[in-house]
């Protein structure tokens, strides 16, 4: 079971190392940032059963904090990334503590409302540059390597993604992850077995927010600016779409979903203009109606039917 | 006599927006007994259960467990004190394997349940104890099955095994034989008897055969209040009970359950 995930992980990593020879590295880095964002989101939705509709707040916050730390405070690159991640995790602790008091749709609404507050804060706050965004963020250097070079930055991004993906994978298959699954499956039963479920949900929320933050921080580094779009509720919706399209509750689903969505947006943006939104909507509808388990989920189910074995 | 009471409620009341579901219940559960809670549909049995395990907050009254007032405690805290409940609708973790279900119950004692950086292989040392418990309910052959694929009766057996995994001092079983065929009912009855050896059991049960067969004490609830209490024979002869409840056919009592 786990061996197959490991093999897939290593093969994927190998492909990523070779990718810049064939594909424009900025695009792959963008895909990786959103893939990490979706994986972090999936930890919450797929493995804890919590639908957050405000995850953009964490992506956006980390983006701004990292941008500010690198540009104004002139911190070293790694510390800048760390600052963004910690800020997002801290915000996750605040929003999480409030949201987990409610369940289901009310939970989603609380996260959405708080994320909107964060969005309007960034819109008004002087250091973010409002609608223009925080521009001209320097990438800095790492161990003497100048990250202004896309290829060098690329390998840093791959390392960040690979490390985070491993951490998420480990979390899912940890004693903590077992309790998260138990809560997702039957919350009253988990309580009756003596688990203080609120604390487990909160830790899952903070982990997810922190990793979403790391994605946002990395994204700022890649594009050299932080933008309001990242904190907008559209982005919160997009990550839901990526996760569902790829396969919620599967290890690789969010990666596949993010790849498909980001690549499509990239390819279509200059061809169909604002029709992109309509196409995304159509994809979402088709996904919900025709293949609810998502690309990876359906493939695994098909594999199971054909081979008659237990999938990943 | 107070010390042989493991659980004692005094004037327990639960109101839902003016509707009184439980009205001044004084319940005394004696240590080591199998105590059955019966009553017509809507008598407040399940509400009582929810109050005792704090899944609902009592409007008034006190609950004492081993002499300690637990009226204001959180449900998970009560579970950790050794009062563990089952649910009316079988409470398992459907998409985990049978063995994993057991391990969830056992792993809290390891104290690593917040360790998200540790491999779940660290839980393997629970497997022996988990298999022991599965064997005690006759599920050892199903350890690797995904729980949702098991028939209903086996899920109930798994639920009992999971509850037993916490080694509770007081087990609360909410209709353990509900929805079961005759054979399964018999098996679960034997099982309850067997596990009651070193503990106290309070159960809500509709099946009179089970109640008559294994319970030491019986409390009859009607409209939120205690109507009668005592051994089966005594309660069954009580004219009030006959009027309120026993007068109806036994088959009807065992039929589809309410609250």
* CA-to-CA separations, B254 to B127, B153, B210, in angstroms, rounded: 37, 16, 10
Cβ distance A185 to B75 less than 8 Å, yes or no, reads: no
Q: Tell me, what's the pLDDT at A193?
A: 93
From the list A173, A175, A192, the residue facing B107 with the nearest CB is A175
Between residues B136 and A153, the one the model is more confident about: A153
Q: Tell me, what's the pLDDT at A8?
A: 87
Measured between alpha carbons, how far is B15 from B36 in angstroms, rounded to an integer?
23
Identify the band that residue B73 occupies on the pLDDT scale cut at 50, 70 and 90. very high
Measured between alpha carbons, how far is A227 from B157 in angstroms, rounded to an integer?
55
* A6 Cβ under 8 Å from any chain B Cβ: no
Measured between alpha carbons, how far is B109 from A154 in angstroms, rounded to an integer?
44
Q: Tell me, what's the pLDDT at B255?
A: 41
Nearest CA in chain A to B126: A175
Please compute the mean of the pLDDT values over residues B3-15 and round it to a whole number. Answer: 87
Q: Is residue B250 predicted with pLDDT exceeding 60?
A: no
- The interface predicted TM-score (ipTM) is 0.83
Most confident option among A157-171, A269-283, B113-127, B139-153: A157-171
Identify the band that residue B257 occupies on the pLDDT scale cut at 50, 70 and 90. very low
Measured between alpha carbons, how far is A222 from A210 in angstroms, rounded to an integer?
18
CA distance, residue B122 to nearest chain A CA (Å):
8
Identify the band that residue B258 occupies on the pLDDT scale cut at 50, 70 and 90. very low
Q: Is residue B16 predicted with pLDDT exceeding 60?
A: yes
Q: Is residue A60 predicted with pLDDT exceeding 90?
A: yes
Q: Is residue A1 predicted with pLDDT exceeding 50?
A: no
Q: Tell me, what's the pLDDT at A267?
A: 85
Look at residues B206, B212, B178, B174 and name the one whose alpha carbon lies nearest to residue B193: B212
CA distance, residue A18 to nearest chain B CA (Å):
29
Measured between alpha carbons, how far is A217 from A33 in angstroms, rounded to an integer?
9
Q: Is residue B253 predicted with pLDDT exceeding 70?
A: no
Measured between alpha carbons, how far is A224 from A136 in angstroms, rounded to an integer?
6
* A192 Cβ under 8 Å from any chain B Cβ: yes
Look at residues A260, A262, A261, A249 and name the one whose alpha carbon lies nearest to residue A298: A249
Q: What is the mean pLDDT of chain A?
A: 90
Cβ distance B114 to A207 less than 8 Å, yes or no, reads: no
Q: Tell me, what's the pLDDT at B1?
A: 44
Look at residues A214, A80, A59, A216 and name the one whose alpha carbon lies nearest to residue A138: A80
Cβ distance A203 to B114 less than 8 Å, yes or no, reads: yes
Residue A80: how many CA atoms within 13 Å on its side-chain side? Answer: 27
Please compute the mean of the pLDDT values over residues A120-147 and round it to a whole number. Answer: 85
Identify the band that residue B251 occupies on the pLDDT scale cut at 50, 70 and 90. very low
Please compute the mean of the pLDDT values over residues A23-49 and round it to a whole number. Answer: 93
Q: What is the mean pLDDT of chain B?
A: 85
Residue B161: burial class (beta carbons within 10 Å; 0-12, 13-18, 19+): buried
Least confident of A3-17, A162-176, A194-208: A3-17
Identify the band that residue A182 occupies on the pLDDT scale cut at 50, 70 and 90. very high
- Contact indicator for B141, B84 with CB cutoff of 8 Å: no
Q: Tell me, what's the pLDDT at A52?
A: 94
Cβ distance B76 to A195 less than 8 Å, yes or no, reads: yes
Cβ distance A193 to B95 less than 8 Å, yes or no, reads: no
Task: Give chain A positions within 8 Å (CB) of B92.
Answer: 186, 189
Between residues B244 and A135, the one the model is more confident about: A135
CB atoms near residue A55 (< 10 Å): 34
* Confidence (pTM): 0.87
Measured between alpha carbons, how far is B162 from A48 in angstroms, rounded to an integer?
21
Q: Tell me, what's the pLDDT at A43?
A: 94
Structure tokens at B85: 């409940």
- Contact indicator for A205, A96 with CB cutoff of 8 Å: yes
Most confident option among A65-74, A136-145, A206-215, A286-295: A206-215
Q: Tell me, what's the pLDDT at A309?
A: 56
Identify the band that residue A116 occupies on the pLDDT scale cut at 50, 70 and 90. very high
Q: Is residue B46 predicted with pLDDT exceeding 50?
A: yes
Identify the band that residue B256 occupies on the pLDDT scale cut at 50, 70 and 90. very low
In 3-state terms chain B splits into helix, strand, coil percentages (rounded to 5) of 40, 25, 35
* A178 Cβ under 8 Å from any chain B Cβ: yes
- Contact indicator for B218, B231 with CB cutoff of 8 Å: yes
Please compute the mean of the pLDDT values over residues B2-11 and round it to a whole number. Answer: 82
Identify the band that residue B95 occupies on the pLDDT scale cut at 50, 70 and 90. very high
* A207 Cβ under 8 Å from any chain B Cβ: yes
Identify the band that residue A233 occupies on the pLDDT scale cut at 50, 70 and 90. very high
Identify the band that residue A283 occupies on the pLDDT scale cut at 50, 70 and 90. confident
Q: Tell me, what's the pLDDT at B248?
A: 55
CB atoms near residue B216 (< 10 Å): 15
3-state secondary structure of A203: helix
Measured between alpha carbons, how far is A49 from B226 in angstroms, rounded to an integer?
40
What is the residue-wise DSSP string for B91-155?
A: ---TTSBHHHHHHHHHHGGGT-TT-TTS-GGGGGGGHHHHHHHHHHTT-GGGTTSBGGGS-HHHH
Task: Give chain B positions within 8 Å (CB) of A182.
Answer: 93, 96, 104
CA distance, residue A15 to nearest chain B CA (Å):
26
Between residues A42 and A305, the one the model is more confident about: A42
Give the torsion sign (CA, B203, B206, B210, B212). positive
């Amino acid at each position: 079971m786990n061996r197959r995930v490991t093999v897939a992980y290593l093969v994927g990593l190998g492909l990523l190392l070779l990718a810049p020879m064939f594909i424009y590295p900025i695009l792959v880095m963008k895909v990786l940032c959103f893939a990490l964002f979706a994986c972090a989101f999936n930890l919450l939705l797929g493995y804890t059963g919590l639908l957050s509709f405000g995850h953009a707040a964490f992506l956006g916050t980390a983006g701004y904090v990292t941008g500010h730390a690198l540009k104004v405070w002139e911190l070293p690159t790694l510390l800048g990334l760390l600052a963004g991640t910690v800020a997002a995790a801290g915000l996750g602790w605040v929003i999480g503590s409030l949201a987990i008091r409610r369940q289901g749709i009310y939970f989603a609404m609380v996260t959405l409302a708080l994320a909107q507050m964060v969005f309007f804060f960034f819109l008004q706050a002087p250091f973010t540059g409002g609608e223009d965004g925080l521009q001209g963020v320097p990438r800095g250097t790492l161990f003497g390597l100048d990250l202004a070079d896309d290829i060098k930055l690329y390998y840093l991004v791959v390392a960040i993604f690979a490390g985070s993906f491993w951490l998420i994978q480990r979390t899912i298959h940890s004693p903590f992850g077992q309790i998260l699954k138990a809560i997702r499956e039957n919350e009253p039963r988990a309580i009756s077995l003596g688990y203080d479920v609120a604390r487990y949900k909160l830790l899952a929320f903070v982990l997810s927010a922190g990793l979403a933050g790391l994605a946002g921080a990395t994204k700022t580094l890649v594009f050299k600016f932080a933008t309001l779009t990242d904190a907008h509720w559209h982005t919160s919706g997009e990550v839901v779409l990526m996760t569902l399209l790829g396969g919620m509750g599967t290890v690789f689903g969010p990666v596949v979903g993010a790849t498909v969505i980001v690549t499509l947006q990239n390819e279509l943006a200059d061809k169909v203009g604002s029709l992109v939104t309509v196409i995304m909507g159509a994809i979402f509808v088709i996904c919900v109606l025709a293949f609810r388990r998502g690309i990876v989920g359906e493939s695994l189910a098909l594999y199971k039917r054909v081979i008659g074995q237990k999938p990943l | 006599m107070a010390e042989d009471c493991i659980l004692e409620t005094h004037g327990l009341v639960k109101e839902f927006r003016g509707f009184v579901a439980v009205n001044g219940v004084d319940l005394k559960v004696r240590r080591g007994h199998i105590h059955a809670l019966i009553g017509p549909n809507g008598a407040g049995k399940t509400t009582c259960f929810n109050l005792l395990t704090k899944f609902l907050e009592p409007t008034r009254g006190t609950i004492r467990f081993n002499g300690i007032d637990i009226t204001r405690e959180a449900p998970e805290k009560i579970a950790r004190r050794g009062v563990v409940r089952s649910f009316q609708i079988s409470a398992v973790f459907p998409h985990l394997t049978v063995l994993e279900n057991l391990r969830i119950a056992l792993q809290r004692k390891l104290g690593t349940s917040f360790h998200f950086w540790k491999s779940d292989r660290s839980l393997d040392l629970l497997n022996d104890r988990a298999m022991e418990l599965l064997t005690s309910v006759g599920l050892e052959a199903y350890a690797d099955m995904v729980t949702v694929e098991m028939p209903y009766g086996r899920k109930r057996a798994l639920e009992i095994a999971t509850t037993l995994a916490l080694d509770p001092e007081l087990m609360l079983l909410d209709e353990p034989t509900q929805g079961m065929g005759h054979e399964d009912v018999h098996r679960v009855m034997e099982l309850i008897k067997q596990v009651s050896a070193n503990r106290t059991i309070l159960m809500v049960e509709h099946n009179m055969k089970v109640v008559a067969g294994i319970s030491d004490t019986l409390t009859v609830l009607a409209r939120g209040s205690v109507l009668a209490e005592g051994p089966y024979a005594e309660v069954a002869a009580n004219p009030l009970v006959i009027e309120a409840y026993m007068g109806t056919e036994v088959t009807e009592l065992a039929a589809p359950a309410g609250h």
